[in-house]
Each structure stands twice: as structure tokens, then as C-alpha cells.
A and B are shown apart, each in its own frame.
Chain A
Amino acid sequence: MNELLDQLMVAIKAGKRKDARAATAAALEAGIDPQSVLDALTEGMNDVGKRFRANVIFVPEVLVAARAMQKSMDLLEPVLVASGIEPEFSIVIGTVEGDLHDIGKNLVMMMLKGANFKVIDLGVNVSAETFANAVAEHNPNLVALSALLTTTMPAMERIVSELSSLNSSIKIMVGGAPITQAFADQIGADGYSADAASAVELAQKLCA
């Protein structure tokens, strides 16, 4: 692989945002095609996800890697758009109504971006209606719901049920500290994952 892309990957893995930005700028400047730069980013984040899942690294390491990825994306995105390169899959994501917690959701979001998903983030405290509107507007491949509180788990159930009644083909994945596979099955979600790295695998599986 090109030396500049190697540098980019190393910078992403180590969470060095200045290095990531510089390597991206240099790669684009050198005329490397944007898809290859994107592939290097995705490969770097994929490695981060693998090490996170294996408990070799933890949330802080993922956050700095994602921050570095974002710095690279800031430069890369306009070039990708200009070249007509678009992510294959899109996902609408949010923390359910009554719940303001988003570190878990944000981690999932960063990992999905790293895997080249188009992510439409609805933020926190998101009602069923807002989810439904976003689904109608963006026609995503997937919807992802997050909850941290045991007291907002009923809101998750309501949202799954309302979205499914509006659009029976929509695929919904759920996660968050108190959520389990059993709860996901009980409320009729299409998938559950326990951490951000597995969420990417699940999303890829559900889109396939």
C-alpha cells in the first residue's frame, strides 16, 4: 500500500488527529484516489473495532481514533461527494424518548461511520414520531435505538412497535446497558448487540 495511506492508517489506529489530517491532505494532494483513502480509513477503524472487541483497547482509545478519523473525513468528504462516491448503506440512529445518554450511541455512530455507513443522527430524547419522520425522509436501510435507563426501556418498546406498524419491512437494531438479547426479542427488534464493534457487524448483517 501507498506510504501515505500507511501513515493515515497508523494515525487512525493511534488516534493521532493531526497526523491523520496531515496524511489525508498529503494523500489527496498526491492524487491518490479518494476511494483508496476511504478504504485506508475504514481499515484503520476496523482494526480499532477488533481490538476494542478483544478488550485490548477501551472506550478512550476508540474515541481518539474516531476523532482522528473525523479530522480525515473533514478533508475527504467533499472530495468523495465531488467524485460521486456514496456510502452503500444508511442508518437512522438515536437515543429513545426520556433518555439523554449518548456516549454509547455516539460510539456506535463513530464505528458505523468508520465502516462507511451513512449515519443520520437524531440525537437524544427522540420520540417515535421523530424516528418515523426520519425514516420517511431518508428511507434508511436500518434504524438503531439506544437506551441507558431501565425506566426508558418501555419507550424503546413503544418506538419499535410504532415504527414496525408504519413500515413492516424496516429493520431495527437496539442496544444500551440494560438491553439484552431477550429484551430485544421480546419487543420485536431485528437485532441486538452488546458493544459498538459488534453493532457494526450486526448492521452489516442486517443490510446484507
Chain B
Amino acid sequence: MTSHERILKTLNREPVDRVPIDIWHTSEVLESLKEYAGESDELELYRKLGIDKIVWILPRYLGGEPSDPNAVEGRDTWGVPTRKVRSGLATYHEFGKGPLSDYEEPEELDDYELWPDPDKFDYAAAKKDAERARQFNFQTLGPWMSHFEIYCHMRGMENALMDTIAEPEFLDAALDRIESIQTEILGRYFSEFGDQLDLVFLADDIGTQESQLISIEAYERYIKPRLKRWCDLSHAHGKKVLFHSDGAARNFVPHLIEAGIDILNPIQHVCPGMERVGLNRDFGDQVIFHGGIENQNVLPRGTVDDVRKETLTCLETLGANGGYIPCSCHNIQAGTPVENIITMIETVKNYDISKRDMP
């Protein structure tokens, strides 16, 4: 069975030869895995390690000012200033001051000059990435789309959160822009990549470590209808939706399911309400779970034995009736021992699926 088939059958709740294993990682972790496996090509590396990688298809943005990828300072696709920052063993692109942070009236959004142009992405190069992923029999995923998270970057997070209470008109107007641009990009994905695109990635982090980021009322008012439009569009093109929210997102899950998501990621089960058994009991027949394997303490700081137990518990709870694609709960962080990552992968590959209630 190829990786592509293994993922597809898991999504369709059909029998598989073994449980698939996906991986999310930072660039530092990719380098450490390449060194470990003696393999410099990323897709070859996944094949060699037996990872059923769902490969990102993300065309580079050619609009805006040309930027040097090695430069410390730059801008993201939406014109938000970014800066490379060293954080312990890791390097991250941190966001600077949101370009919309001083705006007051919806009309001012017309003056913003750095709205991305859907025609200015390098779809041709990305098409080659998608073709190559197909040659390796991997599933593909893209674009990276979000409503509120992009708004938070553009507006500054504290402003954005307060806007859900104090500035409904401005928030609506900005979200309309953010939505329509990405709806166009999504359309381009369907026409450019066709069958070479498997899954649509939609994200909005609506959970914190302890609770909800915003109220359910605000979610239903501002985000849910917009998410539903993207889910409907994806389904109309025969694509399933993988939806991402970190944190304690439990109270949103029924709304996400109503909006039409097919796969829920990353299942941060240490957060209140996200406990694996309950999540599977209440939603396991309505969404596919993707992620789960604890990445704030167990993967970076646990022993090999801790990782094995954590992975098995995920398999036995989130995967009790199939419908589960194990993966690190978000990107594995720099400094995580390679043996922990390999243990995660091997524990999934060696898991005896005859124990499960379902295929």
C-alpha cells in the first residue's frame, strides 16, 4: 500500500495495512533527520523513514518587494514585517508591528498597498513540487489559509482580539478582504493543481493552552460562516479539508464540524477539554484526527519510553476506531532528540491494528 493510499483509506475509514504516520517539523529538525538518515533529499528522507508525509504545496509569492530569504528582516505575503529571531536552539520568523494596527475606519483598508495579488504566486514551480510528491506517492496539502490568524498578524494580536468586542465593522470589513483574496487563491489552486492537490488546509488558532481564545458568540458571528464558505468550495471540488487549531479548542469542535471540516489537527490533548478518550467518544465518528503526539514536553524532553507510551496511548484512544493519522502535535521543535522522533515513527509503524474495533 502506498502512502497516498494509506492516507486516503484512513480518511475514508477503509481497511489499511498499517496506521499511517505523518510528521510536522521545523527546519532544524529536518536537518537533524537528514543527518541521521544520511539522506539530503526531503522526500527521499520521508520514504526512507517510512513516513506517510502529507506534502505542503505552497507557491512562493512573487508580489511585493523582492526579498532575500536569508535576510533578517522581511515581510510576509500580507505585508506584515517579519524578523528572524534566535530562540535557544531554534530560529523563528517573528511578526513585527501589524500594518493595520493604527487604522480606525473600514475605508482605510482601501489605502493598504500590500494586499496580496492572487495572480502573483509562482504556481508553475509549485506544480512541479506537486508532481514530484505524486511520484513519491505522497498526499498533498495546501494552500495555508486562515481568517482570524492573518487578521491578528496584520492588526496586532491584542488589537485583533479587542476588535471582536469593540470594532465589529472594521473587523468585518478586514475579514471580507482577507477572505476574498484567499478564495481567489483557492480557486487558482483547483485550476492549477487539479488532481495533484489532495487536501485543503484551513487554520485559525481559537484555543489557548488553557481555554478559548475568543467566545463562541464571536466565533459564530465572525468566523464560522466564512469557514463554511471555504469548506463548501473545497467540497465542491472534491477536496477534503484539514483544519488546524492549537490549544483548548473543544468547545469549537461541534461548530467546526457544522462548518464542514473533515480532518481536525493537531489535537493538543494536554489542554482542558481536549482529552483523547472524550474527544474520540464525542467526535470520532464525525472527523478524522490528525496529530496528537505531545510536543511541548514528551517529544522534546521525554525519554524514548515516554514517547513510546504517549504514541501508543494516542493510537489506542484517538485511533480506537480508525480515522486517525498520528503526527507530532504541531512542528517538532529544535533540540528534540532524533531517537524520540524515530521512536514515534516506529511505534506507529509497528502498531498491531488487529486490536482495533474498526479497520
Contact = CB atoms under 8 A, between A and B. Distances in A.
Given A151-B335, A180-B297, A194-B210, A60 B215 contact: yes
Contacts of B214: 58-60
Given A67-B162, A98-B88, A151-B88, A59 B296 contact: no
Contacts of A114: none
A121 interface: no
A19 interface: no
Nearest to B86: A98
Interface in A147-206: 149-155, 177-178, 180, 183, 194-195
A149 B296 CA distance: 9
B300 A58 contact: no
Given A149-B87, A177-B209, A178-B296, 7 more contacts: A58-B215, A59-B213, A61-B215, A149-B333, A151-B333, A152-B87, A195-B211
A60 B165 contact: yes
Contact of A152 (B88, B161, B162): B88
B334 A151 contact: yes
19 contacts: A15-B162, A15-B166, A55-B211, A58-B211, A59-B161, A59-B208, A59-B214, A98-B86, A99-B87, A100-B85, A100-B94, A106-B158, A125-B85, A151-B87, A151-B89, A151-B90, A151-B333, A151-B334, A195-B211
A63 interface: yes
A194 B247 CA distance: 13
A64 interface: yes
A149 B162 contact: no
A98 B296 CA distance: 17
A57 interface: yes
A-B pairs with the 3 shortest C-beta distances?
Answer: A151-B88, A98-B87, A178-B296
Contact of B213 (A58, A100, A150, A177): A58
A92 to B, nearest CB: 22
A15 B87 CA distance: 35
A154 B300 CA distance: 12
Contacts of A64: 162, 165-166
Given A58-B213, A58-B214, A194-B209, A154 B88 contact: yes
B158 A63 contact: yes
Interface of B: 85-90, 92, 94, 157-158, 161-162, 164-166, 208-215, 218, 295-297, 300-301, 333-335
A202 to B, nearest CB: 14
Contacts of A155: 88
Interface in A62-90: 63-64, 67
Contacts of B295: 150
Interface of A: 15, 55, 57-61, 63-64, 67, 98-100, 103, 106, 125, 149-155, 177-178, 180, 183, 194-195
Nearest to B163: A60
A194 to B, nearest CB: 5
A149 B161 contact: no
Contacts of A61: 165, 215
A90 to B, nearest CB: 24
A68 B282 CA distance: 40
Contacts of A98: 85-88
Contacts of B166: 15, 64
A103 B157 contact: yes
Given A98-B88, A149-B88, A194-B209, A60 B296 contact: no
Contacts of A67: 162
Contacts of B213: 58-59
A156 B295 CA distance: 18
A125 B335 CA distance: 20
Nearest to B28: A151
Contact of B165 (A15, A106, A151): A15
Contacts of A106: 158
B210 A149 contact: no
